[in-house]
Amino acid sequence: MRAARPLWNGLTDPARSVALEVLYHGPLSRAELARRLSLSAGSLTRLSKPLLDMGVLTEIGTHAENRIGRPAVLLDVVPSSRHFIGIKLTGDEAHAVLTTLRAEVVASDTAVLTSHRPEDVVATAQRLVDDLAGQVGGVAALGVSLGGSSADNAIVTTAPYLEWSDVPLAQLLTDRTGLPVVIENDVVAVTEAEHWFGAGRQCERFAVITIGVGIGYGLVVHDRLVLSPDMGIGLVGHLPLDPMGPLCPSGHRGCSYAMLSIGAICSSVSVAHKRQLSYDECLDLAESGDPAARRVVDDAGSALGEMVALVGNLTMPHKVIIAGDGVRLAHVAHVAIQRRIEQQRDPQASPIEIDVREFGFLEWARGAAVIAIQKYVLDELSQ
């Protein structure tokens, strides 16, 4: 397929700053936009006119900024001017979404991975891309997220669930789809989705904790994601949380994986009941007052409260976002979580705002699309 022509290609740095401010914070009036960027009214008019002519920005209505005078005309991006595809790869499936420029999901699809061979995964991804891209006139870029790490957003250096190492996934996908492709760790992608278009929007400092097959952590400080080559290793997966807790497969007692992962909770409750139980069944039992399930879930909640308190004490975020496909734990074990946070925080410390975000794998895929959007608008994929 053919990639859509880069609409933002060739923008000057000042013009790009105007467009980015509107994308990230808009819709905005010209006066507010000029104030945010420290521009004169004349300079803002000079920069915004070509963006309006090109279709990067549009006038969408008015807003009464003052009691006196005419209402201010609001500027916004044109979300449907460009579309993006995000794919989240697990060990078993590929989850894909088609989004607008503002990461609004237009369509979605899921396919089973019948093999972990890179060429087979790429073929499955191509089918998803073709099906979704066929619903719009063109796609600007493709983002792919997975549990693991990448080099230069192009080569998958490690992906434990896919049993990959040093796979040039971006090039393989570009060859098959004709699209610019960016590869990223899944927790990084979800954190950026919350940062730009989610619960962290307009929040200068926040943290993300994800609960699922594994445990993830992302941090935004001074309105920028904290990045490190170690992001894909999953360092918080073995953070010690309970010295009396069970052992994880690596032999760590009471680590975050042993206490919080879906598999660990299912295993503990299933052993107590001498039959295999699903995650939702375990939480249902806990809610109904089953003693064994309630104990396991409250222990997990206490461990999650310990982790939130540690994040709060060490990084002092304005907000902690708890997300992931295992996030229901945050509701069922709410009392245990809050009790542990209070025990581990100084009474004079500011309360930690906790935002529980319930979503499944398609939201992880949306995170991959956001990474593609970021690269596109920051001109890293549009040359």
**pLDDT tens-digit series, residues 336-355:** 999 999 999 999 999 999 99
pLDDT in tens, 155-200: 999 999 999 999 999 999 999 999 999 999 999 999 999 999 999 9
CB 340 within 8 A of CB 71: no
Domain 82-191+362-377 has CATH 3.90.76.10: no
pLDDT for the residue 381: 47
pLDDT higher than 60, residue 51 = yes
One-letter amino acid of 354: I
In 273-342, beta strands by DSSP E: 319-323
CB 53 within 8 A of CB 45: no
Percent of all residues in the chain with a pLDDT value above 70, rounded to a whole number: 95
pLDDT for the residue 224: 92
pLDDT higher than 80, residue 58 = yes
Separation between Cα atoms, residue 293 and residue 286, nearest integer Å: 5
pLDDT band, very low/low/confident/very high, at 379 (cuts 50, 70, 90): low
Cα within 13 Å of Cα(370), Cβ side: 24
Strand partners of residue 319: 206, 353
Per the listing, tokens 């930690």 go with 352
Mean per-residue pLDDT over the chain, rounded: 92
* Joined tokens for residue 117: 């061979």
Separation between Cα atoms, residue 95 and residue 25, nearest integer Å: 28
pLDDT for the residue 69: 56
Q: Which long-range contacts (CB under 8 A, 24 or more apart) does 1-4 make?
A: 1/129, 1/130, 1/133, 1/138, 1/139, 1/177, 1/178, 1/179, 2/138, 2/178, 3/138, 3/139, 3/140, 3/141, 3/178, 3/179, 3/180, 4/82, 4/83, 4/137, 4/138, 4/139, 4/140
Give me the CATH topology for the region 13-80.
Arc Repressor Mutant, subunit A (1.10.10)
Domains 13-80 and 82-191+362-377 share a fold: no
pLDDT for the residue 107: 97
pLDDT for the residue 231: 76
* Cα angle value 184/96/356 (rounded, 5°): 75
Using CA atoms in the order 54, 59, 60, 61, what is the torsion angle rounded to 10 degrees?
Answer: -170
pLDDT in tens, 66-86: 555 567 889 999 899 899 999
pLDDT higher than 50, residue 360 = yes
Domain borders along the chain are 13-80, 82-191+362-377, 201-356
Separation between Cα atoms, residue 151 and residue 158, nearest integer Å: 10
pLDDT band, very low/low/confident/very high, at 56 (cuts 50, 70, 90): confident
Domain 201-356 has CATH 3.30.420.40: yes
* Joined tokens for residue 143: 């983002």
**Range of weakest confidence among 4-13, 148-157, 369-378:** 4-13
CA–CA distance from 287 to each of 224, 260, 282, 334 (Å)?
38, 17, 9, 11
Residues 6+ apart with CB under 8 A from 280: 328
Residues 6+ apart with CB under 8 A from 335: 298, 301
CB 121 within 8 A of CB 161: no
